[in-house]
Amino acid sequence: MQATLHNIGKQFGKKWIFKGLNFTFETAQHSAITGGNGSGKSTLLLMLAGYITPTGGRIEWAKNGISITHHELFAHIALASPYLELIEEFSLEEMLLFQLKFKSYLAGITVGQLVELSGLADSKNKPLKHFSSGMKQRVKLLLAIMSSADLVLLDEPCSNLDKKAVEWYQNLKHNYGANRSFIICSNHNNTEYPEVERILSI
């Protein structure tokens, strides 16, 4: 899936967070959006997800050369971010099953396999509210990366992850991200965007 920025800008009050951005996130490529704190990385990612409207410019989405409208976009994307909440009353297994009501997983992947891939099998029946912040981040990344979405959006994916969990994330992305479209926001932390082909710095 392809996403193209045409002179994109976002203004809050009288302040422009960024403006005049032109960039194409190509189909089946891994790209990164980098920048310092307050540069607007997360804001831009939410625009690409269709959650925020640009103040100026426009975004075009397309799959196989066919335009995707803003109203159709939700069916094609998956988003993982530290600021998105899980349903904390659910267990890991229940959360994975609930996701299936809205979006399928990669072909041939079962919920049982996802539990094993998470590295959290010993806690599969524990309510998510009892998970650590790092465990919750694993669940968010698992739901996004293993979904069948055409475009996977990851905002600072290594937030709250220890060294072992960072390696887990990198392996999951490497093993299941080939020939898929990824856009990763990062504060210049290249452990978060290994194997990217294009970088947009803002």
pLDDT digit of tens for each residue in the chain (202 aa)? 999 999 999 999 999 999 999 999 999 999 999 998 889 999 999 999 999 999 999 999 999 999 999 899 999 999 999 989 999 999 999 999 999 999 999 999 999 999 999 999 999 999 999 999 999 999 999 999 999 999 999 999 999 999 999 999 999 999 999 989 999 999 878 899 998 999 999 9
pTM assigned to the model: 0.95
Rg value, the chain, Cα: 17
Whole-number Cα distances in Å, 79 to 46, 144, 183: 9, 6, 10
- Token digits of residue 163: 């060294």
For the chain, which domains are there? 2-201 (3.40.50.300)
Q: CA-to-CA distance for 34 and 131, rounded, in angstroms?
A: 29
Whole-number Cα distances in Å, 155 to 49, 77, 95, 110: 11, 13, 20, 25
Cβ pair 157, 127 in contact under 8 A: no
